[in-house]
Structure 1
Amino acid sequence: MKIFNSTYKTLIALSLVSLVSCSDDYFDVNSSQTAPTTTSLAPQYRIKGAIENTTGTAQYRGAREVLGITQYGSQNVADYYSETWSKELTTGSYFLWQNAYVYALPNTADLIVLGDKHNAPNYKGVGKILRAYIFGMTTDQYGDIVTEQTYDGESSMNLTPEFVTQKEVYKTIFQLLDQGIEELGQPSDIALNQEGGDVLYQGNKEQWIKFAKAIKARYLNHLSKKSSGEMAYNADEIIALCQESFTSNQDNAMVQFPGGEAENANQPFSANGYGSSRMDYFSHFFVELLKNPLNLDTPFEDPRLPIIVPEAVNGGYHGVVTGRGLDGLPSEDFSLGNGGFYTSATSPTYMMTYSEVKFIEAEARYRKGDLPGAYAALRAGVEADLEKLEVTSDQINAYLNQLDTAFGGANITMSAIMVQKYIANMLNPETWVDMRRMDYSSAIYPGLQRPENVNLDLFPGADDWIQAMMYEYNEEDRNYVNMPDNSPNIRLTTPLWWNTPE
């Protein structure tokens, strides 16, 4: 068996720690056929594992712990650590790092090596696109991370790799995406879906290229506070990438879950999924936002509300205030978090959607002063998401008419863009990036408040919000010489590079 290079584990430690310390991880449930094993196989037998580890481990973990920040879902108990940013969270008991470096990234590295070995550059391209996606999710939650000295499919293990700055990580992301696009355009000896492993796009290279351009637009848009230097925000470049990427919901990057008895066959946040406990209930903030998403004096309920939140209780929809729990009230008073469009057994995990692309374009046009163009993009994004959720045509038209009246033409606001993007990106960790870029503003997200019972030792002021995650304790144990300052008062409260104006 090939020994793959996580950033902090020997093979024995990997086998024990990754399977014991995190009992509800994706591959803790059953022996996985997609976990990293060896590079002796051909790439068509590894692409499925690369895709599924990206979504089923890394993205799932990236979304799970930040539910108490993005406030899509809430716990049934008060003072839960990930909702109040305390206790276990401050000790590094948070496993996106493990899931990214132990499971997801090694698969992409092997896919790149195998693609090169078997003269299959399209597999190398997919590997690099997925690698960029994982690096992006990881750096956006931690800041400085490991890139060049992590497992590459060929080199010997390095237990003390060097970290690079987030600025350098972003350069690597853009480079990987550009290379991936180029390699997907080259002839290959092995078709991309040779063994049915391309569970994202079924071998359609043009859609993979669109996906890469959409990701690049997303990460360039993160630079909204950068006004100078080589990484300055460039609205025109973002708009161009958006127009070259997704053109309809048919391009959406999503992994579908089949449902079944095994936990890992179900959408993680469904009742039988391995992350169901983090979606006990929908949050008060999310439910109330859907009751009046256009922030009108006379509320106009979003038609997506009963589709996303399937259970009306006591004559309506009621969410749990994040950090408060049930507060002694009967559980029947609140809308359960499982069973809706995003939280049913067969619900997909969305990596990138056409609606998000249009919201990115809307923000870029808004920032350059093209307000009519921004509204056109916003409207297209809203319509796409309504169609994705199979809202009826009459309801779509009624909602768009309300949107036209409130924000049409030059009346568009940044709040209108970000609220619609928040709704459409449910359970995607990208939402946390947006909320930090928008400084957690209640003017942008009407009704947004910090969770109750927030850790006041670290966040004493009403405007103090969490900015990053702690590096995991096992990384600190093995690589403290290279790791940035992991003190909770530094790590959790210091804005990331892209969130620092310059």
Structure 2
Amino acid sequence: MKKIIYTCLMIAGTLTFSGCEDYIDVNTNPNGPDALLQPELFLPQIQSELAVAVQWDGRFTGFYTQNWAYSSGESYSLNLHNNPLSDSYAQLWRAVYWSMGYNLSDMIESGMNSEKYDFVGVGYILRAYGWQMLTDYHGPVIVTEAFNSSQRVFNYDEQEVVYEEIQRLLALGIENLERTDGLSPQDSGLSEADLIYNGDRDKWKRFAYGLLAINAHRLTNKSSYNADEVIGYVDQALAGNQDDATIRFEGTVSSNTNFFGPLRGNIGRYRQTKFMVGLLDGTNPELTDPDLIGADPLLEDSEEHLKDPRITAMMAPSPDGKYRGISPVVGINEWSPEESDLVPKNFWNEEGYTGTSPSPQIYFFNNDARFPLMTYAELQFIKSEAAFISGNKDVALNAYQKGVSSHMDFARQYAPDPSIFDTRREIYLSSEELYPSSAGELTLSKIMLQKYIATWGWGFFETWSDMRRYHYDMDTAEPVYKGFELPDPLYITNNENPAYRARPRFNSEYMWNKEALEVLGAFEEDYHTYETWFSKPE
């Protein structure tokens, strides 16, 4: 990164100390130089903008999936699945169309011109990732007419079109990463510019196959769904936790700090939910084992069910040391002022709504913590679900076991008590109820609840897409997300329906692209409850 900054300064210095005549001679565009910058000057900012946008909008998606809830309860409308008209809930829109936008196009073009084909491959993959996250969040988006500088208004594409474009871009990405001509990552500058994989082409290819798996697996409700194709993609994707796609933050000033860190102060009023805590403390009806009551190694928990070892790494304790969650409807109002010791701390492990910098560590909510964009555990649960619903229970069990074990490895790095973590893990993995050793004991609910745990706090659009694929378990006798309950009542304008999509960005669309929105029905108060294409049975 220092070399990138130094390069930028050198370019600025060259322009400063060159004569004005020379500068004018090389430009026909009065707004800036005609020549494209080298691709390594684009990539770090593009990756950072994309990650922050996922975190920014993921905050709100996290309310729908009950990753967390706002402390005030039902007075905060997103707790009840509202989606107001505001730019605040469309940062990903801004990132894909503006922050990345033409910059990403220029990076790809510059990479082609300078024979830095690794940048071209990464560029296509990042474009595909942006489209996947954006359409998972908003539903219909602008793709076919995007980045057409001759237009001022744009028509929306249905998700089916977007999904096909994602597949095309990923194929191009893999193709360019496999090129043997051009410069190596070390010579091209990718090794230094890449904040995710440090220029490792093989890991970027595995990331692309992981995204292909995600793209194909969204369509479980379609007659065209192909479980074997999904499994094949996963098998070519991330090979272990060492391949997890995480982005680094410096954590020194606000602009280079993890969006969820205490320095940014963005999640101070968020608290873990009862649903999430229930998945980790043995009270969830699917992830419980009566034989493990009294099995916890901590003396103070000796009368309770064994705690999932991940609870201390991922959850914030209350001041009295116990782990509790809040409901979206009640919030922290469940407890009186005299019961403040029972209120869960914030995700910086502190009481109140602010945190010190750095804060006592809770999971990846610190200033310089790496933030996940795709993990091996996530993909193993995708494989497990695909195999399970296609009847291949042995493959499903093997992937389930790998998913649980690998996420425990991932979480352990954040554990404040490694020895207790390891003891609990050993007991947990010996339970046939929690960690089946035979395919006949595995259930779809176990797979999806363990995936929920593994994607908690970062895989917002993945989790929300899963819940929408299963239609929030509404009107089903056998729920997948056992223990999960929608807020009752939902927000008044929802007409008793949960959220299925976010509204497009207010300023660019509702002010300047009205006719296109009218075609979608996006001016209706309950537009955000319209079901998305990928989740509809066909």
Q: Which runs of 4+ in 1 moved over 6 A?
A: 36-39
Does residue 454 in structure 1 map to residue 485 in structure 2? Answer: no
Q: Per-residue CA shift, 1:321-357, capped at 9, x if unaligned?
A: 1242321634542222323112222322111100011
Does residue 318 in structure 1 map to residue 324 in structure 2? Answer: yes
* SS in structure 1 of the partner of residue 492 of structure 2: coil
* SS in structure 1 of the partner of residue 246 of structure 2: strand
Please report how far the alpha carbon of residue 300 of structure 1 lies from its aligned counterpart in structure 2 after TM superposition.
3.5
5+ long unaligned stretches in structure 2: 1-31, 294-304, 349-361, 413-417
How many residue pairs end up in the alignment? 453
Partner of 2:69 in structure 1?
74
Does residue 334 in structure 1 map to residue 343 in structure 2? Answer: yes
Q: Per-residue CA shift, 1:14-67, capped at 9, x if unaligned?
A: xxxxxxxxxxxxxxxxxxxxxx9997211122121221121122x123311112
Partner of 1:378 in structure 2?
400
Please report how far the alpha carbon of residue 106 of structure 1 lies from its aligned counterpart in structure 2 after TM superposition.
3.5
**Aligned partners of 1:383 and 1:396 also within 8 Å:** no
Partner of 1:53 in structure 2?
49
- Aligned letter for 2:105? A
Q: Per-residue CA shift, 1:266-294, capped at 9, x if unaligned?
A: 322222225324x5322222112211261
Does residue 361 in structure 1 map to residue 356 in structure 2? Answer: no
5 Å matches for 1:343-422?
A: 343-390=365-412, 392-403=421-432, 407-408=436-437, 409-422=439-452
5 Å matches for 1:21-36?
A: none
* SS in structure 2 of the partner of residue 276 of structure 1: coil
Please report how far the alpha carbon of residue 254 of structure 1 lies from its aligned counterpart in structure 2 after TM superposition.
0.4
5 Å matches for 1:25-174?
A: 40-57=36-53, 59-78=54-73, 79-86=75-82, 89-90=84-85, 93-95=88-90, 96-151=92-147, 156=149, 158-174=151-167
Please report how far the alpha carbon of residue 434 of structure 1 lies from its aligned counterpart in structure 2 after TM superposition.
0.9
**Aligned partners of 1:284 and 1:322 also within 8 Å:** no
Please report how far the alpha carbon of residue 172 of structure 1 lies from its aligned counterpart in structure 2 after TM superposition.
0.3
- Aligned letter for 2:312? P
Q: 1:341 to 1:93 in 2, by over 3 A?
A: closer
Q: Per-residue CA shift, 1:112-139, capped at 9, x if unaligned?
A: 1211221222211101101111101111
Does residue 495 in structure 1 map to residue 531 in structure 2? Answer: yes
- Aligned letter for 1:246? L
**Aligned partners of 2:140 and 2:159 also within 8 Å:** yes
Partner of 2:465 in structure 1?
433
Q: Comparing 346-355 with 106-115, which one deviates more in the overlay?
A: 106-115
* SS in structure 1 of the partner of residue 84 of structure 2: helix
Please report how far the alpha carbon of residue 250 of structure 1 lies from its aligned counterpart in structure 2 after TM superposition.
0.4
**Aligned partners of 1:269 and 1:276 also within 8 Å:** yes
Instruction: Measure, in 1, the Cα distance between the counterparts of 2:396 and 2:514.
Output: 46
**Aligned partners of 2:160 and 2:533 also within 8 Å:** yes
Q: Comparing 102-111 with 177-186, which one deviates more in the overlay?
A: 102-111
Instruction: Measure, in 2, the Cα distance between the counterparts of 1:191 and 1:41.
Output: 19
Instruction: Measure, in 2, the Cα distance between the counterparts of 1:256 and 1:56.
Output: 11
Match of residue 288, structure 1, among 269, 272, 278: 278
**Aligned partners of 2:47 and 2:195 also within 8 Å:** yes
Does residue 177 in structure 1 map to residue 170 in structure 2? Answer: yes
Q: 1:320 to 1:404 in 2, by over 3 A?
A: closer
Larger Rg: 2
* SS in structure 2 of the partner of residue 48 of structure 1: helix
**Aligned partners of 2:288 and 2:434 also within 8 Å:** no
Q: Comparing 318-327 with 210-219, which one deviates more in the overlay?
A: 318-327
Please report how far the alpha carbon of residue 467 of structure 1 lies from its aligned counterpart in structure 2 after TM superposition.
1.0
* SS in structure 1 of the partner of residue 495 of structure 2: coil
Partner of 1:33 in structure 2?
none
Q: Per-residue CA shift, 1:80-115, capped at 9, x if unaligned?
A: 1221233x6256652232233222334322221211
TM-score, normalization: structure 1?
0.84
Q: Comparing 443-452 with 292-301, which one deviates more in the overlay?
A: 292-301
- Aligned letter for 1:142? H
Q: 1:373 to 1:322 in 2, by over 3 A?
A: same
Q: 1:405 to 1:253 in 2, by over 3 A?
A: closer
**Aligned partners of 1:75 and 1:323 also within 8 Å:** no
**Aligned partners of 2:428 and 2:435 also within 8 Å:** no
Q: 1:37 to 1:180 in 2, by over 3 A?
A: farther
**Aligned partners of 1:90 and 1:488 also within 8 Å:** no
**Aligned partners of 2:401 and 2:435 also within 8 Å:** no
Q: 1:405 to 1:48 in 2, by over 3 A?
A: closer
Instruction: Measure, in 1, the Cα distance between the counterparts of 2:470 and 2:281.
Output: 22
* SS in structure 1 of the partner of residue 175 of structure 2: helix
Q: Per-residue CA shift, 1:445-473, capped at 9, x if unaligned?
A: 2221123563133233xxx3211111222
**Aligned partners of 1:83 and 1:323 also within 8 Å:** yes
* SS in structure 2 of the partner of residue 465 of structure 1: coil
Instruction: Measure, in 2, the Cα distance between the counterparts of 1:93 and 1:456.
Output: 21
TM-score, normalization: structure 2?
0.79
Partner of 2:511 in structure 1?
477
5+ long unaligned stretches in structure 1: 1-35
